[in-house]
Amino acid sequence: MRMLEYSVVTVFFVLLSAASSAAAEYPTGKPAVLLSGNFPCSNCHAGMTPDPARRSLTFHPEIKLKEHGEQRMWCFACHDAADRDHLRLADGEKVPFIELHRLCGQCHENIYRHWKAGIHGKRTGSWEGAKQYYLCTNCHNPHSPRFKPLAPEPAPIKPVNTLRRRL
Amino acid sequence: MKKNLTRRNFIRLSALGIAATAAGCSKGTAWDDFFQKRFQEMKPDEIAGFLKKLENRYAGTYGAPFSVKATPAKEKVVFGYGLDLSRCIGCRRCVSACVKENNPSRDVQIQWIRVLRMKKGEFNLEKSEPYYEPETVPEDGFFTIPVQCQQCENPPCVKVCPVKATWKEPDGIVVIDYNWCIGCRTCMAACPYRARKFNWNEPVIPRDEVNRDTHYLGNRPRMKGVVEKCTFCIQRAREGKYTACVEACPVGARKFGNLLDPKSEIRYVLDNFRVFRLKEELNTEPKFFYFFSIG
């Protein structure tokens, strides 16, 4: 649920919207990676030769592909090998992290359609006016997107010595 | 006892007594409260003064400035709610957000949302479990269904109220005038969704937990002996905001919007997914729609 926690502290109304039309169309919080302190990735990766080999990552041990095409995909299926501060669509187009929904939407087309309509995922703000979309990675870990189980809030207190009426 | 209290003197004395009581109370609260009009019959200037009085009273009780609004319904708005049962995991985040927003009693616990757990493969409200408490959710073999006021278009609770203390607003929200409620609980008996709760005691809300942004027909603190229920966060919804439960849901299962707006989220739900309403056969016409976005 770490990603979920990020979403809570996410600063809404991202200023990057001027740079991209899609971000203005779907005002979102920043994706987790932009808040993590690791960004921009080119700080380290600029001088490194991209290694496409499938391996366990020593510097990013938290990144493990799990239940997300681990047999088919590896870093450069989504990340741009030449420009590490961007993602890469299947047709080679570079997209900034703030528009990562376009990347995810390539495979998850149904979900993408529902997300655009405000059904998949959640939005906050106004039901009739300005709202903030949550980006895919504000709730899902992109490398292991299935939700982790969550501790529930305490149960209501059971009334004692009363005949319990059921719904 | 001598019979020196003549009929004439008795009448004189009682007249004096009544006058004294009236004089004592006319600036105070008891007299005003007793002769308060129905909220729906008040004129706008009367409402303003009345709300001011309430604000002062609450400010005194909770030791901080209070706002009691009476924002009216917007034109061409009827609120509808969607809840995605294929997403809900039963974490009760909606319940705690609702409690934080809506000022229900804390010492005797009142909650407007009940999350019912049921075995997968059957839909039997009789066998549902609201007190489930596993380490983590979702649980294998179970699904959860949150139930709150369904804001019926044909509300049985409104029909049975003997004093018209509860009614359906033009934007479809069923509200209660707590000042007018006599606490007979007939509405609770009439509600097939168990959505209404009764204040058996004077509700206690800690000062640091009270939400001081309130609506007269919604989340202002209640008193002993009145019924309360979910109002779709009337204090938020009428200001254009999503309800507290919508904003709290970690899986985005809750959808809220204007049923009359073809571009709203709730209309998208109705147009695109399998939808059902609880106890549809009772003809209550709920505006709370359960749907499945997967499968």
- Measure A54 CA to nearest chain B CA, in Å: 32
Give the span between the Cα atoms of B101 and B54, in whole angstroms.
19
Which residue blocks in chain A are alpha helix, DSSP H? 2-9, 21-25, 32-35, 42-45, 100-104, 109-116, 136-139
Give the span between the Cα atoms of A155 and B200, in whole angstroms.
21
Answer yes or no: are the C-beta atoms of B228 and B110 closer than 8 Å: yes
Give the pLDDT band (50/70/90) at residue A80: very high
Does the pLDDT at position A113 exceed 90?
yes
Among the partner residues A119, A131, A156, nearest to B293 by beta-carbon distance: A119
Give me the pLDDT at residue A32, please.
77
A9: left (phi over 0), alpha (psi -120 to 50) or beta: alpha
Higher pLDDT pick, A112 / A21: A112
For B281, the token pair is 């056969």
Pairing between β-strand B213-215 and β-strand B254-258 as defined by DSSP bridges: unpaired
Q: What is the mean pLDDT of residues B59-77?
A: 95
Contact call for A154 and B92, based on CB within 8 A? yes
Q: What is the mean pLDDT of residues B123-145?
A: 95
Among the partner residues A118, A128, A157, nearest to B258 by beta-carbon distance: A128
Give me the pLDDT at residue B98, please.
97
pLDDT tens readout for residues B227-283: 999 999 999 999 999 999 999 999 999 999 999 999 999 999 999 999 999 999 999
Among the partner residues B241, B250, B268, nearest to A4 by beta-carbon distance: B250
CA dihedral of residues A107, A111, A117, A118 (deg, nearest 10): -130
Give me the pLDDT at residue B295, please.
66
Among the partner residues B90, B130, B134, nearest to A156 by beta-carbon distance: B130
Contact call for B114 and A167, based on CB within 8 A? yes
- Measure B149 CA to nearest chain A CA, in Å: 13
Q: Which residues in chain A are closer than 8 Å to B93, comparing Cβ atoms? A: 153
Query: What is the number of alpha carbons within 13 Å of residue B8 lying toward its C-beta?
Result: 0
- Measure A46 CA to nearest chain B CA, in Å: 36
Q: Which residues in chain A are closer than 8 Å to B279, comparing Cβ atoms? A: none
Any B CB within 8 A of A69 CB: no
Pairing between β-strand A131-133 and β-strand B197-198 as defined by DSSP bridges: unpaired
pLDDT tens readout for residues B2-36: 557 788 777 777 776 666 655 554 455 678 788 88
Contact call for A150 and B89, based on CB within 8 A? yes
pLDDT tens readout for residues B27-37: 556 787 888 88
Does the pLDDT at position A51 exceed 50?
yes
Answer yes or no: are the C-beta atoms of B152 and B286 closer than 8 Å: yes
> Cα B240 vs. chain centroid, distance in angstroms?
18
Give me the pLDDT at residue B114, please.
96
Does the pLDDT at position B1 exceed 80?
no
Q: What is the mean pLDDT of residues B45-64?
A: 94
Give the pLDDT band (50/70/90) at residue A7: very low
| C-alpha pair distances (Å), A86 with each of A15, A26, A82, A97 | 17, 19, 9, 6
Q: What residue has token string 């209550």?
A: B284
Angle at A7 between CA B295 and CA B139, to 5 degrees: 45
Give me the pLDDT at residue A6, please.
40
Give me the pLDDT at residue B2, please.
56
| C-alpha pair distances (Å), B160 with each of B152, B157, B195 | 14, 5, 15
Q: What residue has token string 């009426």?
A: A165
Contact call for B247 and A122, based on CB within 8 A? yes
Among the partner residues B111, B258, B264, nearest to A156 by beta-carbon distance: B111
Domains of chain B: 79-292 (3.30.70.20)
Q: How many CB pairs under 8 A join A and B?
A: 110
The single-letter code of the amino acid at B264 is S
Give the pLDDT band (50/70/90) at residue A158: confident
Give me the pLDDT at residue A5, please.
41
Q: What is the mean pLDDT of residues A57-85?
A: 90
Give me the pLDDT at residue A2, please.
43
Does the pLDDT at position B102 exceed 70?
yes
- Measure B48 CA to nearest chain A CA, in Å: 26
Give the span between the Cα atoms of A20 and A26, in whole angstroms.
10
- Structure ipTM over 0.95, yes or no: no
Any B CB within 8 A of A121 CB: yes
Give me the pLDDT at residue B63, please.
94
Chain A (80-99) residues lying within 8 Å, Cβ to Cβ, of chain B: none
Contact call for B256 and A127, based on CB within 8 A? yes
A-chain residue closest to B261, CA distance: A128
Residues forming beta bridges with residue A87, ordered by sequence position: A79, A95
According to DSSP, residue B103 is labeled: -
Probe site for chain A from B105, B241, B270 (most A CB atoms < 10 A): B241
Among the partner residues B116, B193, B242, nearest to A125 by beta-carbon distance: B242
Phi, psi of B36 (to 5 degrees): -65, 145
Does the pLDDT at position A1 exceed 50?
no
- Measure A117 CA to nearest chain B CA, in Å: 7
